[in-house]
Amino acid sequence: MSGILDRIIPMLLTLPGVLVAISIHEYGHALAAYKMGDNTAKAQGRLTLNPLKHLDPIGFLCLLIFRFGWAKPVPVNPRNFGNPRRDDIIVSLAGVGMNLLTSIIFIFIMKIGLQWGFLYNMGSMGQILYTMLYGAAYINIGLMVFNLIPIPPLDGHHVVQDIVGFKAVKFYHEYAQYIRIGLIILLFTGFLGRFIVPVISGIYGLLFNIIM
C-alpha cells in the first residue's frame, strides 16, 4: 500500500502544475491567433484559462505520469492571418513561450522560498509546497520541450512546415495517423523519455542556476 501511495501522492501534488501548464499553453496559442486576426479559437470557447476546455485525455495522463505530454490543439485558421507563414510561426511558438515564462515564474518563487527560508520553516507543508513548485516548473518545461518535436500535430511541426513549405513535409501528413500511434508507443515504452528527460532536466537546471 505504501508503494502505491508513494506513486499517487506525487501525482496529486503535480496535478495543479499540469492544469496550469495545459491552460497557459493553449491560451497562449488562442491569444496569439486572436491578436493575429484569427478568432476561430475564441469562437469555439478556447480563448480561456479553463483547463477543462483544453484537456486531451491521453496527453493529460502522459503529463501526470511522465511529466511531458500534450493538450487538445487550439483550432487555428492561418488564412485569417495578415502574413500566414510568419503569423502561424508566432502562434505555434506562443504556447511553448508561455510555458517557458511560467516555469521561470515558478522557479523564481521557489528560489525566493529557499533563500528566504520560509520553505524550510514551514516543515512538512514547506516540503509539499516545494514539490508542487518544482513539479509545476518541470512540467511546464516538459510540455514546452515535447511540443517542439517536429511531428504533427505538435507545435514544432507547424514551425518546420511554415519554414520549409507544405510540400517538403507532405510525408508527415500522409502518414500522420501512424506517426502519432508510433509516438504514443515510444512514449509509453519509455524509449522517448530517454531522449526527452535529459533535455527537460538540463533546461530546468540551467534556469534554476541563472535565476537570482
Q: Quick check: bond before 10 cis, omega within 30?
A: no
Distance CA 172, CA 150 (A): 10
Could you give the count of Cα atoms lying within 13 Å of 149 in the half-sphere of its Cβ? 23
**Cα angle vertex 131, ends 128, 137, to 5°?**
140
Contact assessment for residue 54 and residue 147, using Cβ atoms and an 8 Å cutoff: no
CA distances from 50 to 23, 24, 201 (A): 6, 9, 28
- Of the residues 18, 23, 26, 207, only one is catalytic, namely 26
Distance CA 38, CA 32 (A): 9
Residues near 35 by Cβ (< 8 Å), separated by ≥ 6?
Answer: none
Distance CA 16, CA 155 (A): 23
Active-site annotation holds for 174: no
Contact assessment for residue 172 and residue 152, using Cβ atoms and an 8 Å cutoff: yes
Residue 157 has phi, psi (to 5 degrees) of: -65, -40
Q: Which residues are catalytic?
A: 26
